Amino acid sequence: MSAILLKKSLTDSLNELEVPTFTESGTRRSQDVSVTNTPSVTVSGTATVSVSNTPSVTVSGTADVRLKDPIGFAGTNTQFGEVKVAKIVRQVGAQFSGSTIDPSFWVATVANSATVVQQNNDVDVSSGTNTAGSARFHSARRARYISGVSNGYRAVVHLSDTGVTGNTRKWGIGFGASMPTITDGAYFKLSGTTFSVCTLKGGVETAVDSGSFNGTSTTYTPVNTAITCEIFYAQSSVVFVINNVRIHTVTAASSVWTNVIDLHVYTDSINSGSTTNCAVTLRAAAIRRFGEETSHPTFRNITTATTTILKYSSGTLQTILIGNPTNNAITIYDNTAASGTIITIINPGAIATPLCFNLNVPFQNGLTVVTAGTPNLTLIYE
């Protein structure tokens, strides 16, 4: 059963009511669903009822009534009848303000006269006219995935054309050990004039072309006007949506669809013979989590000079407590080894008073701490 995504208040989001009903023996029977106020609709039997404004719904007998959003995601309740709601947290992505690409949030990589240009509140990822021109653009950080909730990529995309032979464009989510080359992820793709939705696992792409989609329609025709593209993903499935219409759903029934699920926002335009400048323009691009940003934390106490690997995946370093700080230096890495990106170095010197640092900083690759002396160090993280 899908978790609810409440995009509107309940007073104006009664878009569809599904009313499957059964007798005590399990056979389907007719039910009356009466909707009063404006408009007034009565439907007998099993049906989908669309309503607007602020209606009230009266169900006679026993029925299963569910709210559904425009994409088709159904709402659910707790066992106490409370509607389940999800807090939306933007994880990666920043506004394209001014004419300078902010290196704290975005990374652009170009070759053979291709360009990535930020201007007029958007970013143009353009292949240029060289037959081997390539432009790649991705978020500097990855969006962390937490088990039990879903993530969602959302971008407003404008293509310069509806497809050119010898050019491939992708926009969606991806990861690679040597970015900007990606080996895992999910994305929309326009290769020549063929439009596809794709998943990528360990460098192996699985593409579903227009004409074979399993969503609202089996086809989608690219346009060169702005569209809103979304990819909702969890461990078990990937849902591709354009302009609030479900295009295709990938179900990972027998194996995972990606080897890495902490992913970047990713876009590219690559020529492989074309001499046409083909662009993907992003007006906005982000990955959001539909759920709380952090899970319940754990802790580790360290009292010796040693190297300690606290976590082998992404998370949040919340608090550092140092009970014996005098001359006991501490180095903390965003890695699964004592190398790579340093989160912080703490060198208390002659300070004898216990110290407390509330950080709440995310880490991407893992969490490793190197201690000197006997610091009586406690780290709280998740």
Which residue has 């719904």 as its token pair?
57
**Residues 49 and 100 both lie in one domain:** no
246: closest CA among 68, 48, 11?
Answer: 68
What letters, b where the CB count within 10 A reaches 16 and e where it falls short, cover 288-322? bbbbeebeeeeeeebeeeeeeebbeebbbbbebbb
**Residues 245 and 360 both lie in one domain:** no
| Domain-ending residue, one of 259, 290, 321 | 290
**Residues 78 and 127 both lie in one domain:** no
Cα-atom radius of gyration of the chain, to the nearest Å? 25
**Residues 147 and 217 both lie in one domain:** yes
pLDDT in tens, 48-107: 455 555 555 555 565 556 667 777 777 777 766 677 777 788 899 988 999 999 999 999
Number of structural domains (the chain) is 3
CA–CA gap between residue 74 and residue 82 (Å, rounded)? 15
Q: What is the CATH number of the domain that holds 270?
A: 2.60.120.200
**Residues 236 and 125 both lie in one domain:** yes
pLDDT in tens, 16-27: 333 343 333 333
| Domain-ending residue, one of 85, 104, 136 | 85
**Residues 221 and 148 both lie in one domain:** yes
pLDDT in tens, 166-207: 999 999 999 999 999 999 999 999 999 999 999 999 999 999
Domain extent for 243: 89-290
Q: Are 160 and 281 in contact (CB under 8 A)?
A: yes
Better pLDDT: 65 or 11: 65
- The pLDDT of residue 45 is 52
| Domain-ending residue, one of 85, 105, 128 | 85
**What's the whole-model pTM score?**
0.75
Report whether pLDDT(38) > 70: no
**Residues 137 and 114 both lie in one domain:** yes
**Residues 229 and 369 both lie in one domain:** no
**Residues 31 and 140 both lie in one domain:** no
**Residues 312 and 370 both lie in one domain:** yes
**Residues 163 and 213 both lie in one domain:** yes
- The pLDDT of residue 295 is 72
**Residues 278 and 303 both lie in one domain:** no
